Amino acid sequence: MDSIALGTGPVSFDQVVAVARDGAGVHLADDAVEAIDRARAVVEELAAAPTPAYGISTGFGALATRHIPVEMRAQLQRSLVRSHAAGSGPEVEVEVTRGLMLLRLATLATGHTGVRRETAQLMADLLTHRITPVVHEYGSLGCSGDLAPLSHCALALMGEGTVRDRDGNLVPAAEALAAAGLAPIEFEAKEGLALINGTDGMLAMLVLAITDLRMLLRTADIAAAMSVEGQLGTDRVFAPELQAIRPHPGQALSAANLVALMADSGIVASHRTDDCTRVQDAYSLRCSPQVHGAARDTVEHAALVASRELASAIDNPVVLVAEHRVESNGNFHGAPIAHVLDFLAIVAADVASISERRTDRFLDKARNHGLNPFLADDPGVDSGHMIAQYTQAALVSELKRLATPASVDSIPSSAMQEDHVSMGWSAARKLRRSVDGLTRVVAIEVLTAARALEMRAPLEPSPATSAVVRRLRDAGIAGPGPDRHLSPEIEACVELVRSGAVLAAAEEVIGELG
């Protein structure tokens, strides 16, 4: 989609991905503009009243007891944004910054924050013109929202700080705004606070991670099917009647995928005879649906939490238009998101762990049922995929470390006013690394399994797994043979997994996987 209309309702997962990852523009729908105007009228009335109102005519956090005179309130908002734009470290990915800007704008559009329509419009314009403020890795505690990351975005609306233009060049914000025909804005009462007090960064990363994991878990089913097939395992354990007696929905979907992926396999048929004396396969083969299925169910739980957050208006204080007042609250606390971000890091580590175990079985002559040691062309002269498994093992070890939860930690801040924080931003940042690591582990399993399936010739793999092997070969990844530089082949396969090409190859043959 080229552009999305942002109304007062929640944005969808697809809209987040379209804006964050695909560069779609944003425009405010009429209902959003009307809601913004109504809330702004409440703020302006309270700003004119002699009674102090938090966030409008007072300081912030531990300084909330000071009443700010009218002539200093614009400076109050500028000072807030400048002082809170205190991030440090590497620049985060453009898709993350665009995602957090969209979700902050979505909250502004609900009519609960009290910004002016021109302020919301300028944020939409930045997204449409692909002007992306530079946000840094460190600075958010995931409570009072993602303050530092959002402050760097608000700073750009003031024409300050550094941004990336649509071509990816680093330029001063004022220069990028001028080039796009946009003018910086001077914040009025409540606006600076409304722009920085949300869970938008961690939520954007959660939505993107769920999107990636949904695709990766179906790809992990493909890798598992290739491994079961290549190691002369049985598909009987994946029968629907066996899944029905333990009715976890994710397990049933994963098992059904494995059955479909291995259908009509000449390799499976070759040992489905009375001569086969194997009673049952190893856990890493036989229990793939149980592990992948539990991961799927966890991802869908996280998606439920994300959908609730997408339907929320996160700010403090919030404007309650019907009651004609603003009220302080604790909705900015990131605990609901932080917990599932950590849960998904556990999922990534576990799915990667079972993938690595399936890969390792291919390489051990005592367990691979007749294949060459390490799938080497000439064992001893060649090492085959020996060190590819080392790479997997290193990744899995890192994923286990990343599975240590961030959300159990808390460091008090703001002179003990903010004495319990979620660390949700940190949970989100490590989950992004976990998703990348899982992608690489699954890709190495696909790469190794494809080699093994070809080494079973003249036996033919299933139509679906054959299509995956062909997709690798079409990408220039060669089949079995003498040792060659392996790293480029691994990276090529990683990209095929990350892009969804491996999944698409199988689905073109057997239809959409569950």
CA atoms within 13 A on the CB side of 288: 37
The contacts of residue 326 (CB under 8 Å, 6+ apart) are: 42, 43, 46, 53, 54, 55, 56, 114, 190, 317, 318, 319, 320
The phi and psi torsions of 102 (rounded to 5 degrees) equal: -60, -45
54 is catalytic: yes
DSSP-derived 3-state class of residue 441? helix
Distance CA(53)–CA(139), nearest Å, equals 27
Determine contact, residues 230/456, Cβ cutoff 8 Å: yes
Give the DSSP letter of residue 162: E
Give the long-range contacts of residues 391-397, CB within 8 A, separation 24 or more: 391/440, 391/444, 391/490, 392/352, 392/355, 392/356, 392/359, 392/360, 392/440, 392/441, 392/444, 392/445, 393/356, 395/352, 395/356, 395/437, 395/440, 395/441, 396/349, 396/352, 396/353, 396/356, 396/437, 396/441
Among candidates 486, 362, 337, which has minimal Cα distance to 423? 337
User: Of 54, 138, 283, 390, which is the active-site residue?
Assistant: 54
* E strand or H helix at 448: helix 424-455
**Number of residues that this document lists for the chain:** 514
Catalytic residues: 54
